[in-house]
């Protein structure tokens, strides 16, 4: 790609991303989602403080880290949803076909959708920081460096969720279809993860031989196949690295998130180019 084409492509990405981002800021979705996440976080924090008072514990290591997890998951599901319907909505409305009469390429279009979703999360992070700074001040719970590390890691984890949503949307032509596929796949990932957890909790000596074989096979599928396909596994690994305070695991998970996101964004560009822009 020549320098002129690259500059033009980046200009298109910026223009389209800015259009979508301003539209998001004018809408209510992001604000409602963050408000709901803060209500959930406040409820968790209330129960946490009550349990501390009952057990008379006066010191806790990184108390706000666990409170941060659920708001991050709630916002990630929202961003996955808007990413999953972003392409299919414009394809269904005919907007996508109109855009490609101009200097819009498949790569610049997909990248603009990715940038828009990530900018939405950056706004969410700003709200998170304000919320947790306020909570730390009111409750006197420490705003630790590990919480900052968790928030930083969440940006890379959310990148996986956003790119997965774009991957789904590149295949679909209807908003409803995108939502159904996204929900179905996420529920499948969640079901496999829960079943794996249940099987791990059963002592091997109490299992039938066939059940032991099933547990080991299922564990392999869950860890080495679904574990690399599900974007939420990257979120789990990132938070685990933060809680362990392991710089190597922390850095490697960031690398994995970048590779995962780049691969899915690349596939999304390829699929959109092959399927075309018409509904």
* pLDDT, tens digit, 9 for 90 and up, residues 33-71: 999 988 888 887 777 777 766 665 545 555 566 677 778
Nearest CA-CA partner of 15 in 71, 39, 23: 23
Q: Under a CB-based contact definition with an 8 Å cutoff, are residues 68 and 147 in contact?
A: yes
| DSSP annotation string for 118-183 | HHHHHHHHHHHHHHHHHHHHHH-----HHHHHHHHHHHHHHHHHHHHHHHHHHH-SSHHHHHHHHH
Q: Where are the beta strands (DSSP E) in the chain?
A: none
In three-state secondary structure terms, 30 is helix
pLDDT of residue 5: 77
Burial class (CB in 10 A: 0-12, 13-18, 19+), 187: exposed
First to last CA, the chain: 29
pLDDT of residue 61: 55
CA distance 251 to 268: 26
What is the pTM assigned to this prediction? 0.86
Nearest CA-CA partner of 225 in 213, 217, 215: 217
What is the DSSP-derived secondary structure letter of residue 101?
T
The tens digit of pLDDT for each residue in 166-204 reads 999 999 888 889 999 999 998 888 888 777 777 777 776
CA distance 29 to 258: 27
Tokens of 53: 């008072």
Place of tokens 């209510």: 28
Place of tokens 């990630």: 76
The tens digit of pLDDT for each residue in 126-158 reads 988 888 888 777 777 666 777 788 888 899 999
pLDDT higher than threshold 70 for residue 165: yes
Instruction: Give me Rg for the CA atoms of the chain.
Output: 21
pLDDT higher than threshold 90 for residue 123: yes
């Amino acid at each position: 790609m020549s320098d002129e084409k690259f500059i033009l492509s980046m200009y298109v990405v910026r223009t389209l991303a800015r259009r979508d981002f301003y539209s998001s800021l004018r809408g209510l979705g992001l604000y409602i989602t963050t408000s709901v996440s803060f209500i959930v976080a406040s409820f968790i924090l209330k129960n946490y403080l009550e349990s501390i008072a009952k057990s008379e514990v006066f010191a806790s290591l990184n108390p706000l880290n666990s409170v941060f997890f659920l708001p991050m998951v709630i916002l990630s599901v929202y961003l996955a949803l808007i990413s999953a319907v972003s392409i299919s909505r414009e394809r269904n409305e005919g907007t996508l076909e109109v855009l490609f009469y101009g200097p819009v390429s498949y790569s610049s279009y997909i990248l603009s959708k990715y940038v828009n979703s990530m900018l939405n999360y950056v706004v969410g992070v700003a709200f998170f920081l304000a919320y947790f700074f306020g909570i730390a001040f009111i409750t006197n719970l420490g705003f630790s460096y590990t919480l900052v590390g968790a928030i930083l890691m969440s940006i890379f984890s959310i990148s996986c969720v956003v790119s997965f949503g774009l991957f789904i949307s590149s295949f679909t032509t209807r908003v409803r279809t995108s939502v159904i596929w996204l929900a179905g796949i996420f529920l499948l990932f969640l079901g496999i993860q829960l079943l794996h957890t249940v099987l791990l909790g059963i002592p091997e000596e109490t299992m039938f031989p066939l059940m032991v074989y099933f547990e080991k096979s299922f564990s392999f599928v869950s860890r080495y196949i679904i574990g690399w396909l599900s974007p939420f596994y990257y979120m789990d690994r990132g938070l685990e690295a933060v809680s362990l305070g392991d710089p190597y695991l922390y850095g490697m998970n960031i690398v994995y998130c970048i590779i995962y996101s780049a691969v899915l964004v690349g596939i999304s560009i390829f699929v959109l180019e092959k399927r075309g822009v018409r509904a």
